[in-house]
Amino acid sequence: MPVSFEISSSTGPYAVRIEPGALTALTQGSEERVWLIDDFFAGHAALKGLDTIPLSAVEPTKSLDQMTDVIVALRDHRATRATTLMALGGGVVQDVSAFSAAIYMRGIRWIYVPTTLLSMVDSCIGGKSSINVGKYKNIVGTFHSPAEVVIDPELIATLSTEQLAAGLCEAAKICLCRSADCFADYLALDPANATDAASMAKVIALSLTAKKWFIEIDEFDRNERLVLNFGHTFGHAIEAASNFGVNHGIAVGLGMQAALHLGEAMGLSYQSMPRIDLFRCHISELVSTVDGLREVLAQIDPAALMDTFRSDKKHTRSQFAVIMVAANGSVERRMIPRDAETESLIARAFALMLDDWALPGRQKGLAENSAHYQRAV
């Protein structure tokens, strides 16, 4: 059953459509189009005969240096101001497409077809693009909303367990940030076992409806929307320190675990909050499906984690901006002094998170705990 709704943005409303099989129908359009596609789809039957520019969906592709090649390719493919840029791929293709659509000939129309679960449940709405410069991830970007977002849940069929878990870490985060009821609705969908397109379509619709509230009330990321960065300052550090051996959604899952450790190190207790226990266990269950994670985490240099943490663009010169779970269980943004004491608490939070994943038995214990909690919902 197709689901559709509208997002309002400063550049006008845009439609979001969730419809199995939508990709094939979309390729029939007659307007002037150039497709920027994840090269994973280069041989896809639906794209035969279309004007496509394949991109490798790896982190270096979304660097400012690489934008020159994309802009030149768009020009070589005779894109004009009347062209619609069609973007087919996950977050990397989205960031590259949104950024180039914003600047190419001072801005052209673009339509986004997300292909990873992470991009379907989270990044496809909100209009943000983030591009890496040198060693700094997501340091430049634009707000340039797509004209339409078309989600074909059938595209999840080729995703790995790890990619599904990564998407669910972000969906769980959005639902927890939205409200206790929303997170309960999310768990009721039994997302960890919802691997078919129809079940996942429900998770996608719930997560995007929850995110819609944040981006409509705070399009430019100044207030309410900032809490959606939960786990991201820690997560970006984990991505960078692992040389991108840990993917974005999984790093955010681990980052949220580190942020919960930080809350406890700062004297907060989540003991009497079943919702936070459930959240913790659910994230552990998702992350524990990633093969080889323990070995990757064991290679991480704690100093590298702190270096990236310190360089996050959301901090000020005198304060760290950290998204934390408050004493009442709500997710909030806290500004904390940048001093030696805070640094040691943050380093400890990272260490405790790494320690959680250092022993195979512990992962198993966390996942079993999760199964127990799931049954209790």
Ligand X SMILES: NC(=O)c1ccc[n+]([C@@H]2O[C@H](COP(=O)([O-])OP(=O)(O)OC[C@H]3O[C@@H](n4cnc5c(N)ncnc54)[C@H](O)[C@@H]3O)[C@@H](O)[C@H]2O)c1
Question: Which residues lie near ligand X (CB under 6 A)?
Answer: 38, 40, 57, 59, 62, 89-95, 115-116, 118-119, 122-123, 126, 128-130, 138, 155, 158-159, 163, 166, 247-249
89 or 263: CB nearest ligand X: 89
As a whole number of angstroms, the distance between CA 291 and CA 285 comes to: 13
Q: How far is the CB of 213 from ligand X (least distance, A)?
A: 16
Residue corresponding to tokens 């702190």? 306
Min. distance of Cβ 274 from ligand X in angstroms?
29
User: Which structure tokens are listed for 188?
Assistant: 């009721």
Residue closer to ligand X, measured from CB, 162 or 356: 162
* Residue 112 to residue 119: CA distance in whole angstroms: 10
Nearest approach, Cβ of 239 to ligand X (angstroms)?
A: 8
Q: Of 83 and 229, which CB lies nearer to ligand X in the complex structure?
A: 229
- Shortest distance (Å) from residue 341 CB to ligand X: 31
Amino acid sitting at position 19: E
Q: Where are the alpha helices (DSSP H) in the chain?
A: 22-26, 64-76, 91-103, 117-118, 161-178, 180-188, 197-217, 232-241, 248-265, 274-287, 293-298, 302-310, 340-356, 360-376
For the CB of residue 82, give the shortest distance to ligand X in the complex, in Å: 25
Least separation, in Å, of the C-beta of 286 and ligand X? 14
Paired strand residues for 292 = none
15 vs 348: CA distance, rounded Å: 44
- Closer to ligand X by CB, 165 or 366: give it: 165
Residue with Cβ nearer ligand X (138 or 342): 138
- Are 119 and 142 in contact, with CB atoms under 8 Å apart? no
Grouping H, G, I as helix, E, B as strand and the rest as coil, residue 268 is coil
Q: State which residue, 243 or 269, has the beta carbon closest to ligand X.
A: 243
d(CA 321, CA 333): 7
Rank residues 92 and 325 by Cβ distance to ligand X and give the closer one: 92
Rounded to a whole number of angstroms, the minimum distance from the CB of residue 230 to ligand X is 13
Residues 6+ apart with CB under 8 A from 184: 275, 377
Spatial separation of the C-alpha atoms in residues 221 and 318, rounded to whole Å:
20
The distance of closest approach from Cβ of residue 281 to ligand X in the complex, given in angstroms and rounded to an integer, is 23
Of 85 and 276, CB closest to ligand X = 85
Q: Degrees (nearest 5) of the Cα angle 183, 170, 85?
A: 125
CB closest to ligand X, residue no: 91
The sign of the dihedral angle between the CA atoms of 206, 177, 261, 131 is positive
